[in-house]
Structure 1
Amino acid sequence: MDSERLARRPRWITRWDPEDTRFWDEHGFTVANRNLWASIATEHLGFCVWSLWSVLVLFMTPEAGFAFTGGQKFLLVSAVALVGAVLRVPYTLLAPRVGGRTWTMVSVALLFVPTVLAAVLMQRPETPFPVFLALAATAGLGGGNFASSMTNINYFFPEHHKGLALGLNAGGGNVGVASVQFAGLAVIAVAGAAVGHLLPLLFLPALALGVWVAWRFMDNLAHARTGARTRLRAFGERHFWIMSLLYVGAFGSFIGFGFAFGLLLQDEFGRTPLEAASIAFVGPLVGSVIRPLGGWLADRFGGARVTLRAFLGMAAVGTLVVPALAAGSVLLFVAVFAAMFALTGICNGSTYKMIPSVYAARAQDLAARGVPAEEARARAEHTSSTLLGMIGAVGALGGVGINMALRESYTRWDTAVPAFAVFVVFYLVCALVTWSSYRRRPTRARSRHGERDRRGVVTG
């Protein structure tokens, strides 16, 4: 590939080798970063649409004609989270097959469907709840964008830049949760809590712009195309199941609490829609902005080391929710949740960095055993890119678990305390799994990304 061909921004790039230092300095850096920033913008819109109902439920008051219970509202956001999680599997497979640029354009265009439906449903409070639930759940389309975006961007960057690149891509997308909540606050402040249908309408021009951004600034990578059978082998990987569990705790907590935070403020402290919306965006914003730091720390100190400490911190902070609720202090409750969101952001970044590192180390071992270096690296990259999306799919199920646990906790005990007791125990389990799988084994060699055990697994 020459500079002239790259400058024309082809639909398909036929040669891409970011590990070649000369190629990266002369061509790769510019092209990769152009694709990264376009990916961040479009993924951000996906999170905005996915998170729409976490804000719209605040508008669903008796004064606006809605008679849904708190349990039904938690069920609604759980359904949206579930659809988003399930769609991450086909999105992971389709992005490299169709092409990152092409699939981004298609996936952003699909977001017009749930956005328009949301505007219509908010003007039809008499809609039966099962119908309302089914139509609102289409907002899960936005959740699938994360998987395809991360799978695509992973191909563009060399190993020693992936932590920060993936962190920026994911963090920029995650900010969409805070963006839609801030937009909801603006709508309530300007027009009142009875006009929830205006919120989704605000995003229609942005979606059109997103399709154009993908068309104008992104590229497809030919070498990313592999058969679905090759990618589905990732499900048989031991590390797939371990990393999925960790990501359930990391990202599942971020998206689950992001969806539930406003409802918790209403149910626990009796806040109005305006008051809840004015606070709810703070937590997701903190977690999103700090996520690239988690990736950078993982690049610097090793993913497992950072992830282990993040989970221990999440368990410690989770125990503080009980005294915050007992004291009836909104300020203390928000401070605790801000700390929790910050830790989930760091944990998200470090956990995701561990995935390509594990397979980069494996590629080195394959090369040492006689497998051609380029073949070993390609095999590892295909596997890690697939796992980024698949693990993202399983991790998103944690958001479903968070909201269903809160729903059950309120239904049975009329408080969130039992749910948080379960969350704390789960974070301790995640910390133990991280330590036992990636930290406790003796090491023979160290790499710049962490430590490798005798099987070549990055444990740092």
Structure 2
Amino acid sequence: MTTIAETAESGEVDLGRRPGRWIAHWAPEDAAFWRAVGSRIARRNLIFSILAEHIGFSVWLLWSIVVVRLGDVGWQLTTSQKLWLTAVPSGVGALLRLPYTFAVPVFGGRNWTIVSALLLILPCTGLAWAVEHPQIGYLPLVLIAATAGFGGGNFASSMANISFFYPEREKGWALGLNAAGGNIGVAVVQFLVPQVVVLGGGLALARAGLMYIPLAVAAAVCAYLFMDNLAEAKADVGPVWSALRHRDTWLMSLLYIGTFGSFIGYSAAFPTLLTSVFGRSDIALAWAFLGAGIGSVFRPLGGRLADAVGGARVTVASFLLMAVGAYAALWSVEHRDLTVFFGAFMFLFVATGVGNGSTYRMISRIFQVKGEDLGGAPETMLAMRRQAAGALGVISSIGAFGGFLVPICYAWAKSTYGGIQPALRFYVGFFVVLLAVTWVAYVRPGSRMARAGV
């Protein structure tokens, strides 16, 4: 095997370069290596990873805003059918997260970023064709919408890839930036699509899909030109199986359904709810993006608060705020108050954003405490860090199913009872239950996790 010294970027540091932008030697925990070359290469990969993930998130939630205008191009759908269209991509994206996580070690981070970006062309092309052919029927439309789930899988592979580039001391910040860059894609697509489809007068809904095809190609080209594959990123399912044996993996999966799942689910359903409950498609098209934008901005704040006072405490507070927000939304629907409804959902988005950051922070801390309880030997702590990484893949996948369940719950309530009030009552109770679970498992005075400040 031949190697090439990385003279352009690192002087004397030999990265063991191989054809295809493979790096054989990568040591981010070595301070000298990190200063000389590691930080620059990691930063470059992070920038273009954020770009690809951002486009992926936007495509994932494309249907959340497109459904608002389907009636204007010949599609006659019920509110429940529209909510199913927003839910199915979330469910597919959740299913894809685990295999996407392992795609990075198998194929290489750069290579899989190229492939995953190009896969986004399929849902974009499908959407552009389907919206102009209402004669195809509802089932084919749902199947085409399902392909948008490719964008949801991108989050897992992007996070897995960047985690290999950064040292432990900087991994939290890097992953936070990567996650926030993706999450904000939801707000961007809900803001841009309503503007683009009416440019020049009239309505060209196909542009919602067409506009993202060149962006997906650009993300793939940038990954090809500027990103790297790390040979030391190994595909190892052992830590994942080990993580599944821990009760905390399943508890945190439940909590993540309540935080990240609620964020994605509310982002997907909010435009449709504004239209179906209050008949204000104008507000949905002009202002619905604010919810996802606010949730994305508050995610890093949740992580910072968790660092300061403990992730579990912040998560308890976020579930309390979610319950209050859901109750306010329920009141607003019963009293037909659009202003309170909109404000309640903005409040919910703030709470889910904070909860996203705090629950993500809890996971690594929980496994660190488990390692300390087993003696804290270096090899034990390393094993627990790997199990934490495996748990993150499982938890992010299960948590994303909340994005499927939230719109489905609204669809069920609307079709069965004629209104969304039963769904909102369920959410109030669900958030209270999650608050209690978090308290008992991680905050209750005297418990091991509470003493450790998880």
Give the structure-2-normalised TM-score: 0.91
Displacement of 1:304: 1.5
Q: Check whether the contact 1:163–1:352 (CA below 8 A) recurs between aligned residues.
A: no
Q: Secondary structure at the match of 1:66?
A: coil
Q: Name the SS of the counterpart of 2:389 in structure 1.
A: helix
From 238, 248, 269, the equivalent of 1:239 is: 248
Q: Distance in 1 between matches of 2:17 and 2:395?
A: 31
**Distance apart, 1:224 and its partner CA:** 2.6
Counterpart amino acid of 2:355?
C
Specify the SS of the correspondent of 1:320.
helix
Once residues 328 and 453 of structure 2 are traced to their aligned partners in structure 1, the CA distance between those partners, rounded to angstroms, is 30
Structure-2 separation of matches of 1:367 and 1:302:
23
Residue number among 238, 245, 248 corresponding to 2:257 in the alignment = 248
Q: Given the alignment of the two structures, is residue 141 of structure 1 paired with residue 150 of structure 2, yes or no?
A: yes
Question: Hey, what does 1:417 align to over in structure 2?
Answer: 421
What is the rounded CA distance, in whole Å, between the counterparts of 1:330 and 1:304 in structure 2?
Answer: 33
Give the aligned residue type for 2:55. Answer: L
Per-residue CA deviation, residues 105-132 of structure 1 (Å, 9 max, x unaligned), is 1111111111111101011111111111
Q: Give 5+ residue unaligned stretches, structure 1.
A: 445-450
- Aligned: 1:12 with 2:22: yes
Equivalence for 1:181: 190
Q: 1:60 is matched with which residue: 49, 70, 76?
A: 70
Are the equivalent residues in 2 in contact too, given 1:171–1:290 (CA < 8 A)? no
The yes-or-no answer on 1:332 pairing with 2:340 is yes
In 2, are the aligned partners of 1:321 and 1:333 still within 8 Å (CA)?
Answer: yes
| Aligned residue runs from structure 1 range 260-271, under 5 A | 260-271=269-280
What do you get for the CA RMSD once the two structures are aligned? 2.4
Q: CA-to-partner distance for each residue in 1:359-389, whole Å, 9 max, x for gaps?
A: 3344455563x5xx2x445433332222222
SS in 2 for 1:126: helix
**Deviation at residue 12 of structure 1 after TM alignment:** 3.3
Contact kept, 8 Å, 2:50 with 2:178, in 1: the verdict is yes
Cα deviation for residue 55 of structure 1 reads 1.2
Contact 2:190 2:288 in 1 (8 A): yes
Q: Could you tell me which of 385, 405, 409 is aligned with 1:401?
A: 405
Matches of 2:385 and 2:201, distance apart in 1 = 50
Q: Distance in 2 between matches of 1:176 and 1:333?
A: 24
- The equivalent position to 1:300 in structure 2, one of 308, 324, 347, is 308
User: Does the Cα contact within 8 Å between 2:315 and 2:438 map onto a contact in 1?
Assistant: yes
Q: Does 1:164 align with 2:173?
A: yes
Q: Deviation of residue 402 (structure 1)?
A: 0.5
- The count of corresponding residues between Structure 1 and Structure 2 is 444
Code of the aligned partner of 1:396: A
Q: In structure 2, do the counterparts of structure 1 residues 117 and 238 end up closer, same or farther at CA, with 3 Å as the change threshold?
A: same
Amino acid in the other structure paired with 1:35: N
Deviation at 1:22, TM superposition (A): 4.3
Conserved 8 A contact 1:166-1:295: no
- d(CA) in 2 for partners of 1:218, 1:365: 39
1:284 aligns to what SS in structure 2? helix
Query: Which of 75, 92, 98 is the aligned partner of 2:84?
Result: 75
Structure 2: gaps (5+ residues)? none
Q: Percent identity of the aligned residues?
A: 41
Q: Does the Cα contact within 8 Å between 2:102 and 2:235 map onto a contact in 1?
A: no
TM-score with structure 1 length normalisation?
A: 0.89
Which stretch has the larger CA shift, 28-37 or 9-18? 9-18
AA of the residue aligned to 1:245: L
Q: Give the equivalent residue in structure 1 for 2:356.
A: 348
Q: What is the CA–CA distance in structure 1 between the aligned matches of 2:55 and 2:391, rounded to whole Å?
A: 23
CA contact (8 A) 1:121 1:132 kept: yes
- Three-state SS of the structure 2 residue aligned to 1:223 is coil
> Structure 2 vs 1, CA of residues 411 and 213 (structure 1 numbering), >3 Å: closer, same or farther?
same
Amino acid at match of 1:102: N
AA partner of residue 438 (structure 1):
Y
Instruction: Tell whether 2:396 aligns with 1:392.
Output: yes
